[in-house]
Structure 1
Amino acid sequence: MESTLKMTENADFETLLAAVRQIATSVAAVHAKDVDTNARFPQETIAALKSAKVLSAPVPREFGGQGLGMKQLGALCAALSGACGSSGMVLAMHYIQVACIARHHADNAFFKRYLTEIVETQPLLASITSEVGTFGDTRSSICAVERKDGKFILNKQATTGSYCAHADAILVTCRRDESAPKSDQALVLVRKTDGTLTQTTTWDTMGMRGTCSPGFDLVSSGPEEQIMPVGFGDIAAQSMVPYSHILWSALWWGIANDAVVKASTYVRGEARKNPGTVPHTATRLAEVSVQLQAMKNNWQAIASEFDEIAAGPDAAEKLLGIGWALKMNNLKIGSSETAPQIVHKALQIVGILGYKNDSPFALSRHYRDTLSGSLMIQNDRIAGKSASMLLVFKDD
């Protein structure tokens, strides 16, 4: 029975991976330049992902989803991001929100029904964890959710809201109630019909332009049952942080990998011009391939470790531990700093053809997109937290 289930799960994954690769080639890559140039949402790619039932990949099989693990989800994000970094980031962020619901619904009737709805209708989920006045601290909220007559009322001023204007629902952090401290947070599902978004800033950025992440003022109200039954502190530590750092690392690797693929194609072309000789750029290619492989091995190993921990009886204890938190911080910092280094080396290999935006070897978008990594939950902030933890952590 277990062997049959494993074969079915692998078949589902291979089917989805093939679909994502096809979408990456025939849809995402075709529109990537326009998405980047005009800082517009990659609507064609997301529509194709919905049609192929890719958005429900993290939903457990008991609710009709594919129940894919972290390593498999990372592979999907990496495959898409090589063609369009913004599309890959949107998919990763959506998966993060779905995972939060799937792993923390606590047998809540509404959220169990909503997981089934995700499979049936493929809604795109976004999140709002930033807030004006918290200075980038996602584990702190000023706004509070109000419960009244079976409904919630939640208003929030967000500094960023990635693709929120294009999402079907948003998971929003807030204080548990008006008397709760800033760190006692709840997570609320706000459907598109539950409120209004008023854009407050622009999104004219260096990279990841298609994620469309300006600031918003949110005014919302809906059924009280849409408040997650588990506190955000546990959700963040056990799901949001690991899914974010691992899936982001996977997609940054996907972008870097595509840059190296372009460099490889260029080097092979140079070799064909002079049969029997090895281009000097081939040595640089060999060097960058080492770094690329190490980056891949790192995120895949940690993704596999997460899948193993998540399936065990003491998952909560391990995922809330200092050792795991340090591992997440190290992965995020390492991958976000390595990806642009790899793209830079690919650019040095390709030369001027990688620098020109109208070249088939163009690497400008890859470079700019990967530079965003160190700023997403800024590495200095993460390193500071790691420094504090290392003072008390004893590695067994």
Structure 2
Amino acid sequence: MLAERFARAASVAALHADAVDREGRFPAEAVAALKAERLLGLQIPRQFGGEGAGLTDIAEGCYALGQACSAAAMVFAMHHIKVSSLVSHGLDSAWHCRLMERIASEQLLVASSTTEAGIGGDLRNSLCAVEAEDGVFALAKDASVISYGAQADLILATARRNAEAATSDQVLVALLSDQITLERTSTWDTLGMRGTCSDGFRLEARGVPVEQILPKPFAEIAAQSMLAASHLLWSSVWFGIASFAVDRARVFVQAEARKRQGQVPPTALRLAELSNALQAMKATLVSALRRFEDAQGNADLLDSLAFSVMLNNLKTTASDMAVDIVQRALGIVGLAGYKNGTPFSLGRPLRDVLSAPLMIGNDRILANTAKLLLVQKSSGQLMSA
């Protein structure tokens, strides 16, 4: 009955989506509904009280919420991106296993702190460092963005392994809300995705047990779980937004057809083209999800150049397609979509989806893909590219 649970949470999110956007506030009602439906612990293994759901199940939730409230969908996606890191890389740590039990039982909301002043969104480098002594550590980080940081129960933060480590020698640490102080350094006043509340903070933690540091290097965590989860779940959110826009365009064209009995509205052709584009976006996403699920447990495949290129291509393709689809839907609906407060309004989804190419900028990802392609070898097979 997972689809029904997602639908109930999405219906709550939809009721408050305009207010969340207008007021730039956290989608508290939607997150409360997600907790009530026990959807924050879906990925947690069954032995720790979760449901052992795969990323495809989580993607369905991102899609459903994306049609209702972009901000709520993105919060849900970012939460599960971090949970995927715990599930994939925390099973060898007794402390992190207990943490997973708490996430499932208490429906803890997990946030991420990877960006940092001085390095921007380059998650594979850190300036701050873990300072460990006598079994505890301290951490001070100038985080340029922590989405819903003030509302999170737990933050997973990246940092250098120690003060002497290279910027790329990173670890991922779990910090409970009562172990940290957050001093807001910037506010999230943006064109869209306003409800993610992605403020900047000075994050400080002291006296934290070293067992809260995940035992595996962050480079491994990023390559084998975080990169894939980010691109797959973000793309699912964007697909939800695009689907919502196409649905509004379809209803608009159907209404026009009823006014012109026996005539096909000129916008019907544009709607057919739009449906084609949406189907292509869905096929791209579904294919990537299947490849990820098939690769589970195969570290060599997850670390391969071909897999990284595929994920990079998914992100850049899906983000560009989502923007194009919503813009074309607006072209079909016209002024009724441009105006706020009509049954066909598309202002909020358009502003939200414009963030897609900017979340880890597409130019940065394309530059990384270009480097990978210089050394990648052709598979020589149609179905394994």
TM-score (norm 1): 0.94
Give the alignment partner of residue 4 of structure 2, picking from 14, 18, 35: 18
2:82 is aligned to: 97
1:122 is aligned to: 107
1:356 is aligned to: 339
Q: Give the superposed CA RMSD.
A: 0.9
1:180 counterpart letter in structure 2: A
2:43 is aligned to: 58
Unaligned stretches of 5+ in structure 2? Answer: 380-385
CA contact (8 A) 2:120 2:144 kept: no
1:42 counterpart letter in structure 2: P
Shift of 1:66: 1.3
- Confirm whether residue 368 of structure 1 aligns to residue 354 of structure 2: no
Shift of 1:317: 0.6
1:219-254 C-alpha deviation (Å, 9 max, x unpaired) = 112222111111100000111100000000111000
> In 2, Cα distance between the equivalents of 1:212 and 1:195?
18
The 5 Å alignment of 1:1-40 reads 15-25=1-11, 27-40=12-25
2:218 counterpart letter in structure 1: F
1:300 is aligned to: 286
1:370 counterpart letter in structure 2: V
Give the alignment partner of residue 200 of structure 1, picking from 182, 185, 188: 185
- Confirm whether residue 68 of structure 1 aligns to residue 44 of structure 2: no
1:7 is aligned to: none
2:285 counterpart letter in structure 1: W
Shift of 1:273: 1.3
Shift of 1:16: 2.4
* Identity across the alignment (%): 48
TM-score (norm 2): 0.97
> In 2, Cα distance between the equivalents of 1:302 and 1:191?
33
1:285-315 C-alpha deviation (Å, 9 max, x unpaired) = 10000110110111111111111110x4xx1
> In 2, Cα distance between the equivalents of 1:326 and 1:383?
9
1:251 counterpart letter in structure 2: V
1:35 counterpart letter in structure 2: V
Unaligned stretches of 5+ in structure 1? Answer: 1-14
1:110 is aligned to: 95
Shift of 1:107: 1.8
Give the alignment partner of residue 175 of structure 2, picking from 190, 204, 217: 190
Shift of 1:113: 1.0
Give the alignment partner of residue 154 of structure 1, picking from 114, 124, 139: 139
- Name segments (4+ residues, structure 1) moved above 2 Å: none
How many aligned positions are there?
Answer: 378
The 5 Å alignment of 1:281-300 reads 281-300=267-286
Shift of 1:135: 3.3
Shift of 1:117: 1.1
CA contact (8 A) 1:87 1:211 kept: yes
1:214 is aligned to: 199
1:347 is aligned to: 330
Shift of 1:43: 0.4
2:382 is aligned to: none
Give the alignment partner of residue 88 of structure 1, picking from 73, 76, 81: 73
> In 1, Cα distance between the equivalents of 2:303 and 2:96?
23
> In 2, Cα distance between the equivalents of 1:282 and 1:223?
62
1:252 is aligned to: 238
- Confirm whether residue 264 of structure 1 aligns to residue 250 of structure 2: yes
CA contact (8 A) 1:106 1:230 kept: no
Give the alignment partner of residue 137 of structure 1, picking from 114, 122, 130: 122
> In 1, Cα distance between the equivalents of 2:53 and 2:268?
38
1:324 is aligned to: 307
1:254-281 C-alpha deviation (Å, 9 max, x unpaired) = 0000000111111111111122221111
The 5 Å alignment of 1:225-240 reads 225-240=211-226
